[in-house]
Amino acid sequence: MENKNTVFTYLCIAMLCFLFSCTSVTVDQVKHKQVELIQGDSIVVIGRRSGSDYETEPDLIACIGTALSQASTALNVIPESDFVDRLYPWFEARTAPVHVQDLNRLLSYEKISRIIDDYQVQYIVWIDGNTEKTRSSGNISCGLSPTGAACFGFGTWDTKSEYEATIWDYKSRQLVGKVSSVADGTSYMPAIVIPIPIIAPVQRHACKTMATQLSDFFTNK
């Protein structure tokens, strides 16, 4: 009985270790000039979707936007979908400005500059990158028989989130800085009759750290 309890305790400790120790995040920041946000100014966070073999996830953009507006700095963040829909078709994957100078061409069009002015946009934050599975190993077999179904085995996989935020000053049409975040994590799935997924929240960590870095960036910390 005592043996069983010890095994159970070790198993719990191992699982907790898997849950909390298997994600590492590296952040980096470059600031070309001080930022200045005054009362009423807004920022917009948009995903760059021109990459041919990956796609910046819309839920990550929403996560960063929510985290920034809920942070202690309480930045006024315009939801990506609202901004992109109102300025359709100028911020679609193939039509969005790639360089900060391209804003001049776009803003020469009066209707567009009026909409952006309505939003009181001061900074445009472009997020580029994605989360992907980098390695997987192990094997899980499942069987179905008249007596029931069961799975046995063990699977593990590594996930990597790599994102870079480019911050444009809308009013001065300048690149003011860049923030990058790289998160790695390993997920496990032991299967003893039923599969138990222990998933490393890599993308969530990337979102939180990116939001914290951006928040510090905008408050000049």
Partner 1 sequence: MRAFTNILLIRVFLVTFLLSLLLISCKSTVDISGHFPSPTINQLPYSIGVIFNKKFSGYRYIEKSEKREKWEIGVGDAQVKMLNVVLKAMFSNMEVTSDFKSTSGNTLDLYFQPSLENFQYNVPYETKGNMFEVWLKYNMKVYDSQGQIIADWILTAYGKTPSEFLKSQEAALNDALVIALRDLGAGLSLKFTQVPEINKWLKKREKSNKESAKIVKNNIVNQIVLKI
Which residues are at the interface with partner 1 (CB under 8 A)?
53-55, 57, 59, 85-90, 92-95, 111-112, 115, 130, 132-133, 144-147
Q: Say how far apart CA 47 and CA 56 lie, in whole Å.
A: 6
Cβ closer to partner 1: 133 or 135?
A: 133
Q: Say how far apart CA 203 and CA 209 lie, in whole Å.
A: 10
Q: How far is the CB of 7 from partner 1 (least distance, A)?
A: 31
Q: Say how far apart CA 97 and CA 81 lie, in whole Å.
A: 17
Residues listed for the chain: 221
Written as six digits, the tokens of 79 are: 């939801």
163 in Cβ contact with 64 (< 8 Å):
no
What letter does residue 72 receive in the DSSP assignment? T
22 in Cβ contact with 201 (< 8 Å):
no
> 3-class DSSP state for residue 74?
coil
Cβ closer to partner 1: 9 or 81?
A: 81
Cβ closer to partner 1: 10 or 54?
A: 54
Q: How far is the CB of 70 from partner 1 (least distance, A)?
A: 23
Cβ closer to partner 1: 57 or 176?
A: 57
Q: How far is the CB of 56 from partner 1 (least distance, A)?
A: 9
Q: What angle do CA 77, 64, 89 make, to 5 degrees?
A: 65
Q: How far is the CB of 111 from partner 1 (least distance, A)?
A: 5
Which of 131, 56, 132 has the alpha carbon at shortest distance from 93?
A: 56
Q: How far is the CB of 85 from partner 1 (least distance, A)?
A: 4
Cβ closer to partner 1: 112 or 151?
A: 112
